[in-house]
């Protein structure tokens, strides 16, 4: 797929079937993520993959966090089933380290770029998905069950699979409201 066409037509799709990317295609997706811009070469990334039955492990983690907040049984079961909405969920983590020239925000942005690059690589390969967060991404209980360190931050859950059908036309924004030519 032409690079500009890919950029101009990037879109999400929450309706995802099997198969998830695998083998060389999944490697290509990871390689795209690992080309994210990276100030000072800190490589502040981790991609935690849940596929097949392992998605239930993530479901249990989300359900435990929901229960810990005192939510009702319906909410807990909803959280447990959330990762089953796609055949693969990649939790993208910013592995933040102290650095005098690279603040936390830059490392989190780098991980976000990695997530976006992976979504776009997936789209180029005929897959698609959706970037989700929700409060789970910021919950210390979720972080701890995933084995994250205190300084780490989940930047998103990338749900990936094969689109059931291509859902809709992409939104095209007017350019002018978003651009300001300073001094003119």
Ligand X SMILES: Cc1cc2nc3c(=O)[nH]c(=O)nc-3n(C[C@H](O)[C@H](O)[C@H](O)COP(=O)(O)O)c2cc1C
Numbered residues of the known binding site for FMN = 10-12, 35, 39, 131-133
A 10 A CB-CB count for 28 gives 16
Q: State the nearest-atom distance from the C-beta of 148 to ligand X, in Å.
A: 17
Q: State the nearest-atom distance from the C-beta of 45 to ligand X, in Å.
A: 15
Q: State the nearest-atom distance from the C-beta of 24 to ligand X, in Å.
A: 26
Confirm or reject binding of residue 12 to ligand X (CB under 6 A): yes
Q: State the nearest-atom distance from the C-beta of 90 to ligand X, in Å.
A: 13
Q: In this chain, which of 19, 52, 126, 134 binds ligand X, going by CB under 6 A? A: 134
Residue 55 has phi, psi (to 5 degrees) of -60, -25
Exposed e or buried b per residue across 109-134, where buried means at least 16 C-beta atoms within 10 angstroms of its C-beta: bbbbbbbbbbbbbbbbbebbbbbbee
Q: In this chain, which of 55, 80, 132, 143 binds ligand X, going by CB under 6 A? A: 132
Confirm or reject binding of residue 164 to ligand X (CB under 6 A): no
Site for ligand X in 24-53 (CB under 6 A): none
Kindly indicate which of the ranges 30-38, 48-56, 64-72, 132-140 contains the residues binding ligand X, using the contact rule CB under 6 A.
132-140
Q: Which is nearer to ligand X, 19 or 134 (CB)?
A: 134
- CA neighbours within 13 Å on the CB side: how many for 67? 10
Burial class (CB in 10 A: 0-12, 13-18, 19+), 53: exposed
Size of the site for ligand X (CB under 6 A): 9
- Residue written as token pair 């780098």: 110
Nearest to 89 by CA among 125, 123, 119, 126: 119
């Amino acid at each position: 797929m032409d690079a500009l066409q890919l950029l101009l037509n990037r879109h999400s799709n929450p309706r995802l079937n099997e198969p998830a990317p695998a083998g060389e295609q999944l490697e290509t997706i990871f390689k795209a993520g690992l080309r994210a811009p990276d100030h000072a070469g800190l490589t502040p990334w981790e991609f935690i993959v849940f596929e097949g039955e392992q998605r239930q492990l993530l479901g249990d983690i989300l359900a435990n966090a929901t229960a810990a907040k005192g939510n009702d049984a319906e909410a807990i079961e909803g959280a447990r089933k959330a990762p089953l909405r796609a055949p693969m969920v990649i939790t993208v983590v910013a592995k933040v380290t102290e650095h005098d020239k690279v603040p936390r925000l830059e490392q989190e942005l780098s991980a976000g770029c990695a997530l976006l690059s992976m979504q776009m690589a997936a789209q180029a390969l005929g897959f698609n998905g959706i970037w989700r967060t929700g409060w789970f991404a910021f919950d210390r209980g979720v972080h701890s069950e995933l084995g994250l360190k205190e300084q780490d931050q989940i930047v998103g859950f990338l749900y990936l699979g094969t689109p059931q059908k291509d859902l809709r036309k992409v939104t095209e924004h007017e350019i002018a409201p978003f651009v300001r030519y300073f001094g003119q």
